[in-house]
Every structure is written in C-alpha cells, then in structure tokens.
Amino acid sequence: MFRLLKEKNFRLLWLGQLCSPFGDRLIQMILVALVATRSAGSTLSLAKVMAITSLPALLLNPFAGVYVDRWDRKNTMIACDLIRAMGIVLFPWLILSHGGVPLYLGVFVVFAVATFFIPARLAMIPDLVASKDLARANALFTSSGMAGSAVILLAGALLVEWVGVAKSCWVNAASYVASALFILPVVPNRRHRKKAAHSVGLILREIVEGIEELWRRPTTRRAAGLVGLLTIGAGASFVAGTVLVQRVLGTVTKDLGFLSLWSGVGMLFGALAYGRWGTHRPRSFVLGLSFLGCGVSVWLFLWSVLGFKSGVAASAAAGLLGFWIGPVGIVANVLVHEGHPERLHGRIFSSMGVVVNLSLIVSMLAGGWLADRWGCASLLLAVGGVFASSGFLLLCYTKRRFTPS
C-alpha cells in the first residue's frame, strides 16, 4: 500500500491532504478556546459556534459533489486552500467584533469552502493511480486520515493552549498555504474532462432522486436512522463533555486534545477489528454490540471525569468509545453499496451526509440548551442510556432486519 507514495503526484496529494485537515482541526480547537474565554462554562454558546461549522455541509454538500465534477479538481483544491487561508487570517479581528456575527460568518465561509475541497480531493485519486490500485489508494488515504486527524487534534489543542488564539490562526493559515503548495505541482495522469453544465433544476432533481432512493429501501433507511441516532448522541456528548472536562480538569483545550487523540485511535482500531473479525457477523449483531458499547463507554467517561478526575482514565474511556463507533459507519456504507446501483451511490452518500449534519446541528443546539438546564453530567448519563438501550433492542429484536437478503 505504501509503495504508492513512491509516485510523486500521489505523494504530493497525500501530503496536501495531511496539511489541510490540520487547519480544519485547529479551527475547532480555536473555537473551543474562544468560547471558553468569552462565555466560560456555557454549553449553549459552544453549541452555537460548533453548529455553524456543520451548517455549510448541511446546506452545500448535495451541490458540492455535482459541481466539483464539472470543475478542474486540482484548481478547485488550490482555490479552496487559499480562500481558507485568507479567511482564517481575519479571525483575530473578527473575534474582537461585538455580537459575534462577523465571526460566525467567517466560520461559515471557511467551512463552506471545505465542502468543495473534500469531494475534489477524493475525486482526484483515480486521476493519479491505476485502476488496480484504487482500493489501496483509498485505504491509505482513509487510514492515514484517521490516524493523522487524531494526532492533529492533539497538536492543535496543545498549540492553542501554549501560544494562544491569535498566533494559532497564523499557523492555521500557513497549513492551508502548505496544502496548496503541495498540490500545485501535481500533474494528473489523465486530464479530467469537464461535463457540460446543467441547469439548476436538473441538479435539484438529481439531489431529490438520491434522497428518494435512500428512503426507498428499508435496510438503508434504518441504517441512516441509526447513523443519525449515533450522530445526535455524539453531538450532545461533545458539547456537554467539553464543558464538563474544562470545569473538572481545569484546562481549556489540552485535555480535549488527548481525548480526541485516543478517540481517533479507538476508531481506527474499531474499523480494523471489524475488518478482521466482524465482516462475517450479522450486521444487526455488529450494530447492536456497537451501540451497547457506546452507551457503556459514555458512562465510563462520565465516571472517569467526575469520580477519578483523571484525564488518563477519561482518555481510555474516549478510546473505548471510538472503538465502538468505528464499525457503525462501515456497516452503513456497506449497506448502501449492496442495496443500490453504483450510479446512485454519490447522491445517496450526499443524502446520508445531510442526515449526519442535520442531526449534528440539532443535537449540539438541543444538547447545549439541555445541559445548561439539567447539567452536563445528567445529559451524558441520558445519552449513554439511549445508546445502551438501542443496542440492547437491536441485539434482541432486529437481528434479521439488517441481514442482507
């Protein structure tokens, strides 16, 4: 798999994709630190800011893939990196604005541009490697991306903690410029032939067709529902867990970085474990066990923070949570691949993205509101209960429903 890195064009794209996520993850840590400074202890304030990071994907994801297929992918990625670099440089000034609206608009623009960068990068892989190497190339991007994101979150958290928000913004902008510089020399093996432009009406009809196809088949409809449920719990847990860790452990981003690191490592090992031992198990069994494990892991995380007041114990619980989250997305993707024709996969995955981002926005806003009224610990206890009971029901009552016909 790593022999592909000997190919210059592929190696440059791979290095670029490592630089760009660094910027994305660093923005998240900057926003967490900013909220902690301006509205310390407010879960709803954190939820509002983080919801803005998901809103562009909700609104633009269905359109981004359609238009990226009509644009030059290399130029699209370079333009996205440079626009994001310019946007993040303005953050220190936007932070000083009253009311927060300019900052929210800046965050929205930066993440809106990212919705075009990601599909352009994924679509460019076949332009750089032979058809026989596509599986290895995607595996390398996915595995390195998961491991890299975990390390990057820790590095970003420590950077914000050590040098502050303003200087972190400059480092963030530099990472986007570095990504553009890596991509600039890339020469695709085959030039992308642009498709003729289509009317907005036709594009909207294609998007609607993907949504209808997603809900047509009961198996994938239930899979989308479970992914949505997992995302709702994750969004509520993020805002409540972040504020709880800041209050109890006394750091702004440092401990969150370690939690993110071990959560990412857990997701990587969960995905590998499913590939090694879970593919021959009934899908309902895997999903049920995963949700049950997620519920127990959330309770262990809560116990680690409140009972032990230990960042190490909380990191172990976060790693266990990531381990059980890992297989859920894989199972959902497999169900889509098996249940629908290839020509519709892009639109269906875009529709799944809408479900994920809508669930994330609603859960973060609702979770922030509930945590301010119930308390962060009570909300995490409830999320763990929903996960555990859902897993128990899946194991008991829906085994055959998720087994491919």
Q: Name the residue among 234, 256, 262 with its Cα closest to residue 319.
A: 262
Tokens of 104: 């929210």
Instruction: Give me the domains of the chain, ranges plus CATH numbers.
Output: 1-197 (1.20.1250.20), 200-400 (1.20.1250.20)
User: Which residue type sits at 141?
Assistant: F
**Vertex 317 angle, CA 316 and 321, to 5°:** 120
Which are the contacts of 371, defined by CB distance < 8 A and separation ≥ 6? Answer: 43, 44, 236, 239, 240, 243, 379
Residues 219 and 335: beta-carbon distance below 8 Å: yes
pLDDT tens for residues 288-301?
Answer: 999 999 999 999 99
Q: 317 pLDDT exceeds 90?
A: yes
Q: What percent of the chain has pLDDT over 90?
A: 19
* Cα gap 218→398, rounded to integer Å: 13
Q: What is the pLDDT of residue 64?
A: 75
Q: What is the pLDDT of residue 251?
A: 76
Q: What is the pTM of this model?
A: 0.72
Grade residue 402 by pLDDT with cuts at 50, 70 and 90: very low
Please report which residue ranges of 194-282 form alpha helices under DSSP H. 200-216, 218-249, 254-273
Q: Name the residue among 7, 123, 131, 144 with its Cα closest to residue 70.
A: 123
Max avg pLDDT among 1-5, 194-198, 240-244, 295-299: 295-299
Q: What is the pLDDT of residue 346?
A: 59
